[in-house]
Amino acid sequence: MNMKFKKIGCIADPDSKTATSALDELMKRYELLDAKNLPLDYCDVVVMLGGDGMMLKTMRHYMHTKTPIFGMNRGSVGFLLNEYRPDNLLERLHDAVVTKMYPLEMRATNKDGHIHTELAINEVSLLRETCQTANIKISVNDEVRMENLIADGILVATPAGSSAYNFAAYGPIIPLGSNVLALTPICPFRPRRWRGALLSQKSKVRFDIIDSDKRPISAVADSNEYRNVTSVEVQQRQDIVMNILFDKSNGFEERVMDEQFNC
């Protein structure tokens, strides 16, 4: 997809000298705007310099604007990022491929009855807070599917996040076009052989915490944590679209394939 951008913003991880040095280099070579000092909807595209963590922060920052984001890796893994090359930036932006991503919405209710709502790009996780395992009832679309999951926890992952914590918990890597979410247990004890499920992206998942006083659970939407929850509802927000740009020669789908075959 060929795109013409007039107002190109750039932002770098302020805690990374590698990223800020790259920002200085690009600012000298191109007519870029300092995105951190501009209104969210001002730029036609934002070039992000940093690692996957900074990319997630940038995606969250621009989540409600639909501003395309072209990340270049100045961190470590860089799964959501393109290779850093200062040459031919304008041509790369012009020829970039758009990948659309949709966040999960988490509604977590704590012991006091307060409801905390957060959006997650990668996953929503439920994690035990003490040495005792969690006991969780699982419902999908208002139908109870499992009365008791005894485990360290459980997570719901988006296709974009399926290669992160979900994959580390032995969940499947999901291609973006598959329209499914991963429901993956974390160190399950009972049922012993249950490895999770694939759900339609339109599914509404509810977790009820059994014996929450004795077995407290925290709910985490990406990096936002709420402790001592009694129930959690998770559903994908189809009305919020994040446009992530990848080089045509190394799109996100190809990265997903590589992750599945590079052992």
Quick one: pLDDT at residue 244? Answer: 93
Quick one: pLDDT at residue 49? Answer: 98
| Token pair listed for 1 | 């997809």
Give Dmax (Cα) for the chain. 60
**For the chain, the helix, strand and coil percentages under 3-state DSSP, each to the nearest 5:** 20, 40, 40
Q: Which of 15, 44, 52, 239 is catalytic?
A: 52
Instruction: DSSP letter for 248, please.
Output: G
Is residue 120 within 8 A of residue 104, CB to CB? The reply is yes
Residue 213 appears among annotated catalytic residues = no
Write down all domains in the chain, each with its CATH number in brackets: 8-102+241-261 (3.40.50.10330), 104-236 (2.60.200.30)
pLDDT by residue (tens digit) across 185-241?
Answer: 999 999 988 999 999 999 999 999 999 999 999 999 998 999 999 999 999 999 999
Q: How would you write the pLDDT of the chain (263 residues) with one tens digit per residue?
A: 556 789 999 999 999 999 999 999 999 999 999 999 899 999 999 999 999 889 999 999 999 999 999 999 998 877 889 999 999 999 999 999 998 999 999 999 999 999 999 999 999 999 999 999 999 999 999 999 999 999 999 999 999 899 889 999 999 998 877 889 999 999 999 998 899 999 999 999 999 999 999 999 999 999 899 999 999 999 999 999 999 999 988 766 666 666 667 65
Residues in the chain: 263
* Global pTM exceeds 0.75: yes
